[in-house]
Structure 1
Amino acid sequence: MLVQKYGGTSLQTLDRVRHAAFRIAEARRNGPSLVVVVSARGSRTDDLLRLAADVGPAGPSRELDQLLAVGEGESAALMAIALNGLGIPAISLTGHQAGIRTTDRHGDALIARIGAARVRAALDGGKVAVVTGFQGVDHAGDIATLGRGGSDTTAVALAAQLRASACEIYTDVDGVFSADPRILPAARCLPWVQPGVMAEMAFAGARILHTRCIELAAMEGVEVRVRNALSQAPGTTIVERQDGRPLETRRAVMAVTHDTDVARVLVHCRDIRRDLAPDVFEALAAHGTVVDLVARSGPYEDEFRMGFTIRRSQADPVRAALHEVTAAFGGGVHFDENVGKVSVVGMGLLSRPEYTARLMAALAAAGIPTSWISTSQMRLSVIVPLERTVDAVETLHREFHLDRDEPTDGTSATPGRSATA
């Protein structure tokens, strides 16, 4: 049993659909039963969103989900037609037909359970099951979409339910890189990444996989492989650990990620001893807003101050809600959208304080201003001016020698630096 997922860029043109179909056909002829999960082709989802916006307000809703589901349905049907044309029996299935049940949250639903009876029936009949990603049905029987990265999550959830040997995610890059190769040609394709590190990379800006997908894979023990749909590159395997590597001398820093979809938010109220933090977090949670780099004033100060970062794309929906929280106390909210977040991701970073020192020293030497910083065992994140984000990625990638292969024997990778650099 193998689950393969093909992203929108992998299916952007009919030629790419045919190319993916040839790849699927070859895999099927080599033996394993196959479930294929597909995304909408190319910019189809964005086109549908613009179409909805031209008609009227297009916030998350039942009708918008009905519309957006069209893209994946089109991809699944085309793929099944292409496979049948190659002599590979195939059937397309919507999320509903595949038994994918979700929570009742349009636009950002969670997968609650998967029946998969028709998927199993198709496999037992020797067919490839082509399933629409990004969608399922809620308790009312209405289509509910899964939000950003939803097709990846669909693929991993099906792999877990069907006890597949692996879930292969096909995209337009060779795998997971030590930095975004589109801005840093020196970035290396990583042969393996631990699930926890991959989840941090995804949260911190890496666009290859979504955090929800990797968290689910880690919980369910699903091996994920990221590969290029247009090449035979070996790609990256997301596994818990790689045998044969030195343990404590293994490289601690795996990658540098960046995120430009960032807004820095400052909430303040003067002459108030009331703790507004619960109110602020409730307002953010009500809009499904992800928060990072949180700092706040102490309990004995006369002024309430709280700072955090959110996604810039989520700023408008929460702006009014935060102003409402502070207005009754004469406070205010300030949004700074001219910032980017750069993160060093790896393992054991908090236990090695020299890593934070090296990060700050390298950025200072490059003349890159920094403001807020957050540290944990897996991620060191810092806020920089938006126009210096790429410079910061290049600086830190060079500082931690990520353009070099990791030594396999625990010896020093660079004179004066340990192999854990």
Structure 2
Amino acid sequence: MARIVKKFGGTSVGDIDRIRNVAKRVAKAVEEGHEVAVVVSAMAGTTNQLVQFCREAAPMHDAREYDTVVAAGEQITAGLLAICLQEMGVPARSFLGWQLPLHTNNVHGAARIEEIETEALEACFEGGRVAVCAGFQGIADDNRIATLGRGGSDTSAVALAAALKADRCDIYTDVDGVYTTDPRIVPKARKLEKVTYEEMLEMASLGAKVLQTRSVALAMTHGVRTQVLSSFEDKPGTLVVSEDEIVEQEVVSGIAYSRGEAKVTIVGLEDRPGQVSHLFAPLAEENLNVDMIVQSASEDGASTDVTFTVPEDDLKRTVKVLEDNKETMKFRDLVYRGNVCKVSVVGVGMRSHAGVAGTMFDTLADKGINIQVISTSEIKISVIIDAEYTELAVRALHTAYGLDKVEE
């Protein structure tokens, strides 16, 4: 008998029929003798509607009241799933965040989990019942409902699995696992049986939409074995595990890409200690997220050029902040452009294999694709290219690293 946490996203619980389908999956696990806790999101579209209600009521609304409103979506789903399970003869009880309780800090709308008390859930298991928990929510120090922000339900599920010392956390989504790249671009993409936490963390941060970065980081910290499965097909998924569970790693496990990037270059920044700090401090104050950063010496030797990327939606604000601070930052010129894409190769096998970067650069050169920025880490190489070449680059790299599915 295993203890399993199962999380179902918004599309998985989009209507009553889909909630009944979820109940059948949970009932099957119970029949197999497992202890099951379920974490649910709001029904697809519900949270967006609740957020819109808040905006219509008052553009500058109170964050505490915002949390009260948007947390209602998960409450509805948890109650409905418990009712469906009871109707099938499976004992179940729903729990809201404050009823566990799941304690958070006071940052309403983007709270972080501090502690989860498990006594109520342990009592539920001892009584032979399924615990159906509302994701995305907890209770803050001020005794108010607090929501966890983006990816909150995935984060709730992983945190709950860690607190309960569960054997596994199953995340049900509208895809059936983690693939070597986006199957919509590369039909020969392969589903991975297992992937390491580090690789999944890189893929999630680089644009793969299967799991939220925050939940992967939490799973890695607490060693929670996490499985990605389809809500709509009964087939094996992908296990996200520690590196020692994988006997022999592929050199490259996947190709990730992120559209909607913009590139900014500061030309002729004074080359002295502290100047780069002065450059990025105003951007941080405006909550502008800077990604890839490359610094190089200018031709005159007395100054430096700094290139970095930001989301394209933030380009105008970024340029304005830089231009407003030009005198303080002391740079000569500002060059920027949108419509670029970040393409990355990811794999823990890179640690022990040479030539990975060379293969990437040669492959892109053969296709006539110009590399504008390069950034590397121990298990990742990322480049910035023109967005129009995204699909060509992803397909070519997928083939170059031997990731294409072999036709049977």
2:355 pairs with 1:371: no
SS in 1 for 2:98: coil
> Which of 12, 23, 26 matches 2:25?
23
Amino acid at match of 2:309: T
3-state SS in 2 of match to 1:22:
helix
Q: Please name the residue that 2:254 is paired with.
A: 255
Q: Supply the distance in 2 between the matched residues of 1:157 and 1:244 (Cα, whole angstroms).
A: 24
Partner of 1:386: 387
CA positional deviation for 1:152: 1.1
Give the Å deviation of 1:288. Answer: 5.3
Counterparts of 1:68 and 1:114 in 2: how far apart (Å)?
Answer: 21
Shift in alpha-carbon separation, 1:321–1:106, aligned structure 2, 3 A? farther
- Answer whether contact 2:12 2:18 (CA < 8 A) is retained: yes
- Counterpart for residue 108 of structure 1: 110
Q: Deviations over 1:333-352 (max 9, x none)?
A: 65533111111110142654
1:223 is aligned to: 225
1:328–1:161 CA distance, 2 compared to 1 (3 A) = same
Aligned equivalents of 1:288, 1:147: Cα separation in 2: 16
Mapping of 1:260-299 within 5 angstroms?
A: 260-267=259-266, 273=272, 275-286=274-285, 289-297=288-296
Q: Report what 1:311 is aligned to.
A: 311
Aligned residues: 402
> How many angstroms does 1:118 deviate by?
2.5
CA distance in 2, matches of 1:385, 1:16: 41
Q: Is the 8 A contact 1:275 1:304 kept in 2?
A: no
Partners in 1 of 2:317 and 2:22 — Cα distance? 38
TM-score between both structures, scaled by the size of structure 2: 0.89
Give the alignment of 1:316-331 within 5 angstroms.
321-329=321-329, 331=331
Task: Classify the secondary structure of the residue corresponding to 2:6.
Answer: strand
How big is the shift at 1:124? 2.5
Structure 1's 290 and 134: CA in aligned 2 closer, same or farther, altered over 3 A?
Answer: farther
Q: How does 1:159-238 map to 2 (within 5 A)?
A: 159-238=161-240
Q: Which amino acid aligns with 1:375?
A: T
Unpaired runs of at least 5, structure 1: 406-421
Whole-Å separation in 2 of the counterparts to 1:261 and 1:131 = 35
**In the aligned structure 2, how far is the partner of 1:59 from the partner of 1:280?**
33
Q: Which amino acid aligns with 1:16?
A: R
Deviates more, 1:295-304 or 1:60-69: 295-304
Residues of 2 paired with 1:62 and 1:318: CA distance? 30
Residue 56 to residue 223, structure 1, CA distance change in 2 (3 Å):
same
SS in 2 for 1:349: helix
1:94 is aligned to 2:93: no
Which residue number corresponds to residue 337 of structure 2? 336
Residue 80 of structure 1 aligns with which residue? 82
- CA drift at 1:270: 5.1
Displacement after TM superposition at 1:301 (Å)? 5.3
Q: Does the 8 Å contact 2:101/2:117 carry over to 1?
A: yes
Which residue does 2:130 correspond to in 1?
128
Once the two structures are superposed, the pairs formed by residues 381-420 of structure 1 within 5 Å of their partners are 381-404=382-405
Determine helix, strand or coil for the equivalent of 2:52. helix
Amino acid at match of 1:215: A
Residue type at the aligned position of 1:392 = A
- Which secondary structure does the structure 1 equivalent of 2:44 belong to? coil
1:48 is matched with which residue? 50
In terms of mean alpha carbon deviation, does 52-61 or 189-198 score higher? 52-61
User: Which of these residues, 236, 239, 242, is aligned with residue 240 of structure 1?
Assistant: 242
- Asked if structure 1 preserves the Cα contact closer than 8 Å seen for 2:11 and 2:44, the reply is yes
Question: Structure 1 pair 182/204, CA: closer, same or farther in 2 (3 Å)?
Answer: same
The one-letter amino acid paired with 2:264 is: V
Contact 2:293/2:309 (8 A) holds in 1: yes
Assess, with a 3 A threshold, how the Cα gap between structure 1 residues 211 and 303 changes in structure 2: closer, same or farther. Answer: same
Unmatched segments (≥5 aa) in structure 2: none
CA contact (8 A) 1:114 1:161 kept: yes
- Partner residue, 1:146: 148
Conserved 8 A contact 2:251-2:353: no
Read off the aligned partner of 1:224 and give its amino acid letter.
Answer: T
Q: Percent identity?
A: 38
- SS of structure 2 residue aligned to 1:9: coil
TM-score, normalised by the number of residues in structure 1: 0.86
How many angstroms apart in 2 are the aligned matches of 1:270 and 1:174?
A: 48
Between the aligned partners of 1:135 and 1:22, the Cα distance in structure 2 is 25
- How far did 1:285 drift? 4.3
The amino acid that maps onto 1:156 is V
1:336 alignment partner AA: R
Higher mean displacement: 39-48 or 356-365? 39-48
Match of 1:346 in 2: 347
Return 151-160 or 304-313, whichever deviates more.
304-313
Q: Offset at 1:259?
A: 1.1
Deviation sequence 1:151-179 (CA, Å, 0-9, x none): 11111110010011110111111111011
Q: Which has the higher mean CA deviation after the structures are superposed, 2-11 or 121-130?
A: 121-130
Query: CA–CA distance in 2 between the matches of 1:313 and 1:69?
Result: 28
1: distance between equivalents of 2:43 and 2:196? 30
CA offsets 1:183-230 (integer angstroms, 9 cap, x no match): 222111100111111111111111111222122112212111111111
- 3-state SS of paired residue (2:97): coil
Contact 1:342-1:384 within 8 A present in 2 as well:
yes
- Maintained 8 Å contact 1:178/1:256: yes
Partner of 2:363: 362
* CA RMSD after TM alignment: 2.8
Q: What's the secondary structure of 1:262's corresponding residue?
A: strand
